[in-house]
Structure 1
């Protein structure tokens, strides 16, 4: 099968990400003697500079790592928590029944910077200055602004000029929207990074002491103080149409540390697939694999790959995968979160998968069918029930503020996304990370710091007693979903941006590679799809009953057959769904990496 790019193959190291500069920086760190954890952090810091519309140092960053020396596989949770003062009662006192997707009211503790520091301290080898240095250089000296970032800034430019002057100061140099491809710098962010490095250097020569000093400066020092002063002292316009201060305080930052926890994994196709816990949507992928296995999906995949004309999905395969995704996502909406116990062992059990598999019929289902693990009745947020009833009654989607990920300011709509990086080194260490949040269009720049705050509280329900309820000290249920596949001495890191679609786009990729025998690049390049019947996690929580979005390359015959089964098929551009990447060790011991041509930004690097 001819692919858009070759699978990179080598013996030294591989980095794949959603931006070529991040991949190059990660490779530079490997060449300098760093390991995969050093390289992933360097790439992550770089992404926070060069893709400010997709993530930032004040955003979120779940990381899955595997240390080859002792076989340790772990999650570093860089998802910040809800502030102590952000109770459901506090929002109701403001007349707010849904957390707005923009501004101070949605701010949670910034987690990305702390997660990268934690990964470095525990598993890295290089000094912080060597790892953060490339990001400092790009912030200070500039980088080519990708077209999507320029478009996003243009969308919210008037909002910045009228309501968010600190953002205008950074992103509208000279008062104008920067051109796509122009050299763009963020001197404020460079200054923040340089001050953090100065604090680190002042701690002495010990590497871990330096990292801790930088962490304290961010979470207990000048960064935390600037955040507190801005959030408490400057009301800003948000998606409610009014200006508000927020609940985030310096004490919230000081009390938070990135945490390390076990992954959640299931066996599939002779390997183990690892994800984060149900405070994120990662187990949705694992549920899908369990149910697909119960349905005998291997035969459908082999039939699709063996097509005589152009190997690609058949209507039978797409239908089954979409129907399973709808069931798993319904369970996500009913059971996942960090604010109440999640019956995860049952949700991932073979018996429950077999029960759910029996619900997959020959035509597209139009219902919303969360299961009842352990006999427990699902309880859904009232706002979600209302949104579903409206859509099922034929109401048009609410195209108001907040469509897509991330939520965008009231000046207009600008579909958002996030970013991803995968790394493998010559020792076999592997890292998968999906940094996001702190989007320039969703939160004003903290004056003097050059970055925005995460607005992830918008994922929470202002309704008590739900797994994803707004609850101080708990993590919002994120859509961010890095992944790791582990076999006997081999395996790969993988992932994609895409909000709710992350754990849909990666399913066909895994099926093609693990069951169909396609190499990593071919599995990424192949035409893909997702269900839009699934509720979006972001305001206004819209969905399209029986919706199925399919790339044009799926083929008219396949799309017609799916429509005949009752799917509301929406044709997408030929190369538009997903921005996957992967990097790992093959069964032959060679390192491999691949990146998605979609978006025209992602690249793999290695040797």
Structure 2
């Protein structure tokens, strides 16, 4: 374990996010009288500016929010649906058996803006101008470019110059690729924010009416029109190696609204854990907790072979159920109550043996027959260039053999009133879709996670939400606010955050220490992103894992793969001390730019 920084404590507010500028923007909102929800929105918009390789206005966001004085948590779904023109037959007519991971075809309705607006309108207190000001400032005046963003731009520069001119206008404004640490600006994005704000303020002097007007302007005004015109302007190169047009229209944007609902939850000792619904992978965390409740984890010991084996085997069972049963509840009957029920859990827990299971083993809730479609095959020959290799991979990261994969962003905030929020924004990243030059951002590509076969909960249908990996978490302790946390990491989010949570509640580590232990995960379940890779039996662990533990796991049948120390995940967390006297926060040292602030 690294020499630990302290767990931060304060009296006004606590913030942790995947970028220090977002965390500082959120703290400025808190110290100016805003609440946790106002602060999270400000941080979310800053992340769109300073981490454009991982998220943007054209992407999506998953949120869980707890209002002070209440005993529940609300989920806000900022995952937009697929276009009405998107169908299995439509992709079949293009000669495709899977949805490509880049380009215009996988674009959904952008949900991030609507999700943040819903949080601000119903949970926040500040005006739109207040929470947009930091993002507008950084987009207009500039910010120090992260090395990861600089790498993405330099690698993709030929694509931006030759095939995606809007991306060239947005990211190559100075000609050659910008250097890491240089001042980078996105004046077009600043103008988009400013125009949204001006339209909103012209519509009304009322706070909530302004926020509603901004939503309307994005989804039915000039932003929707620019998106529609861009998609109608012609095909663009994508992962197929061909040029395809998009299916999204202005009508798709106009009919969408983010939803708010009570978040699914499960008790774990004195804690109640809340997650987004099965339109995300969030309930996997709850299923894992249910399974693990029958094991004495403390007796096993944190980091022992017994502990890692049990954790991974329970994850395989929960994730297998995700593959068979999770999807948009508006289109499919997800048997979530049964999946979290005691009888079902007891039967599933009995399947955890002494050796590593090497196959997906979904359950049969209520006697229903599980169905996991065959994995999609690549529609075209192997890529003939590095650029096409990048486009074929649906994750936002630039492929490098020595680079650990990380993606997405996280924001967590707690305030002195007892409010808490956790958000995981992603999508609309620069690698996977051409930027719209007149707006300063690209669209998302979440559609790549859907199946082009009939009869699965995550099968493509017009207007259906693709199942997202975005999975923030909130925890109440004996009915009082306790923790908000999340991490980047695609399909692995609910493995890494589970380890963090158990470090804190089972093994007594403080929040900062809980982010710094050896992290591990299984790669047995197919990834949601193209090329949907999976590796049966593989257990990935950071090289800080005890060698005796590694050998014991190999004897149990795990194929242990060691990766560089402190390379998996970027846990961010904010919450309250057990006595409720102070707010507290921590941020993982991984990735180096996640940052926690308390005051």
Report the TM range for the smaller structure's normalisation. Answer: over 0.9
Which residue of structure 2 aligns with residue 351 of structure 1?
343
Aligned twin of 2:382: none
Aligned partner of 1:290 in structure 2 is 290
More deviation in 400-409 or 291-300? 400-409
Which residue number in structure 2 is paired with residue 491 of structure 1? 482
Quick check: 1:530 aligned with 2:539? no
> What does residue 531 of structure 2 align with?
540
2:436 partner SS: coil
CA distance in 2, matches of 1:556, 1:177: 43
Look up the match of 2:216. Answer: 216
Matching residue of 2:469:
479
What is the distance in 2 between the residues matched to 1:455 and 1:124? 29
Paired with 2:445 and 2:360, the residues of 1 have a C-alpha distance of 28
| Structure 1 position 522, deviation (Å) | 0.8
Which residue of 2 is the match for residue 169 of structure 1?
A: 169
2:588 to 593, 596, 599: 596
Equivalent in the alignment of 1:117: 117
Aligned to 2:497, the other structure's residue is in SS state helix
Q: Where does 1:56-67 land on structure 2 (aligned, <5 Å)?
A: 56-67=56-67
Normalising to structure 2: TM-score of the pair? 0.95
Q: Secondary structure of 1:75's partner?
A: strand
Partners of 1:334 and 1:78 in 2: CA distance: 23
**Is 1:47 aligned with 2:50?**
no
Q: Which runs of 5+ in 1 are unaligned?
A: 305-312, 388-397
Counterpart residue number, 2:308: 318
Indicate yes or no: 2:446 matched with 1:435.
Answer: no
Rounded Cα–Cα distance in structure 2 between residues aligned with 1:426 and 1:472: 44
Query: Structure 1 residue 408: deviation in Å?
Result: 6.9
SS of residue matched to 2:435: coil
Matched, 1:246 2:246: yes
What secondary structure sits across from 2:493 in the alignment?
helix
Task: Kindly provide the CA deviation profile for residues 333-352 of structure 1, in whole angstroms up to 9, marking residues without a partner as x.
Answer: 11111142111111111211
Following superposition, the deviation at residue 473 of structure 1 comes to 1.4
Query: How has the CA–CA distance of structure 1 residues 87 and 485 changed in structure 2, closer, same or farther, with 3 Å as cutoff?
Result: same
How far is 1:234 from its partner? Answer: 2.0
Confirm or deny that 1:449 pairs with 2:431.
Answer: no
Q: Is the 8 A contact 1:280 1:480 kept in 2?
A: yes
Match for 1:462 among 452, 458, 462? Answer: 452
- Over residues 310-332 of structure 1, what are the superposed CA-to-partner deviations in whole Å (9 max), with x where a residue is unaligned? xxx01110011011111111111
In the alignment, does 2:546 pair up with 1:555?
yes
Give the aligned partner of residue 370 of structure 1: 362
Structure 1 CA distance, aligned partners of 2:157 and 2:374?
35
Local SS of the residue matching 2:9: strand
Deviations 1:559-581 (A, max 9, x none): 12111211111111111011001
* Residues matched between the structures, number: 583
Say which SS state the counterpart of residue 434 (structure 1) adopts: strand
1:392 aligns with: none
Distance in structure 2 (CA, Å) of the matches to 1:568 and 1:2: 26
- Which of 300, 320, 326 is equivalent to 1:336? 326
**What are the Cα deviations for residues 436-467 of structure 1, in whole angstroms up to 9, with x where unaligned?**
00011111111210011011110111112110
What is aligned with 1:17?
Answer: 17
Return the alpha-carbon distance in structure 2 between the equivalents of residues 235 and 414 of structure 1. Answer: 33
2: CA distance, partners of 1:259 / 1:408: 33
Q: Secondary structure at the match of 1:491?
A: strand
Deviates more, 1:205-214 or 1:424-433: 205-214
1:404, CA displacement in angstroms?
5.8
RMSD: 1.7
Spell out the pairing of 1:171-250 with structure 2 (5 A cutoff).
Answer: 171-250=171-250
The answer (yes or no) to whether the contact 2:273–2:475 under 8 Å persists in 1 is: yes
Pairwise CA distance, 1:528: 1.0
Q: 1:72 to 1:565 in 2, by over 3 A?
A: closer
> Residues 507-562 of structure 1, C-alpha deviation per residue, up to 9 Å, x if partnerless?
11111111111111111111110001221111111111200110011122211211
Alignment of 1:22-101 (within 5 A): 22-101=22-101
Q: 1-side partners of 2:230 and 2:288: how far apart? A: 43
1:249-281 per-position Cα deviation (integer Å, ceiling 9, x unaligned): 001111001110110100013100100111100
SS across alignment from 1:574: coil
Q: What's the secondary structure of 2:585's corresponding residue?
A: strand
Asked if the contact 1:419–1:435 (Cα under 8 Å) also holds between the matched residues in 2, the reply is yes
Match of 2:156 in 1: 156
> Are the equivalent residues in 2 in contact too, given 1:26–1:43 (CA < 8 A)?
yes
After superposition, the Cα gap between the structure-2 partners of 1:565 and 1:72, relative to the gap in structure 1 and judged at 3 Å, is closer
Structure-1 residue corresponding to 2:385? none
1:264·1:276 contact (CA, 8 Å) conserved in 2? yes
The answer on whether the counterparts of 2:199 and 2:213 sit within 8 Å (CA) in structure 1 is: yes
Counterpart contact for 1:314–1:558, Cα < 8 Å: yes
Aligned to 1:261: 261
Q: Which one is further off, 534-543 or 498-507?
A: 534-543
Secondary structure at 1:525 match in 2 = coil
Between the aligned partners of 2:37 and 2:549, the Cα distance in structure 1 is 42
In the TM superposition, residue 383 of structure 1 has moved relative to its aligned partner by 2.8
Match of 1:394 in 2: none
**Runs (5+) with no aligned partner, structure 2:** 379-387
Q: What CA distance in whole angstroms lies between the structure 1 residues aligned with 2:103 and 2:586?
A: 37
1:574 to 552, 559, 565: 565
Q: CA deviation at 1:587?
A: 1.9
Structure-2 change in CA distance of 1:345 and 1:298 (3 Å): farther
Per the alignment, in what secondary structure is the counterpart of residue 105 of structure 2? helix
1:269–1:515 contact (8 Å) kept in structure 2: no
Instruction: Name 1:380's counterpart in structure 2.
Output: 372
C-alpha contact (below 8 Å) 2:75/2:260 kept by paired residues: yes
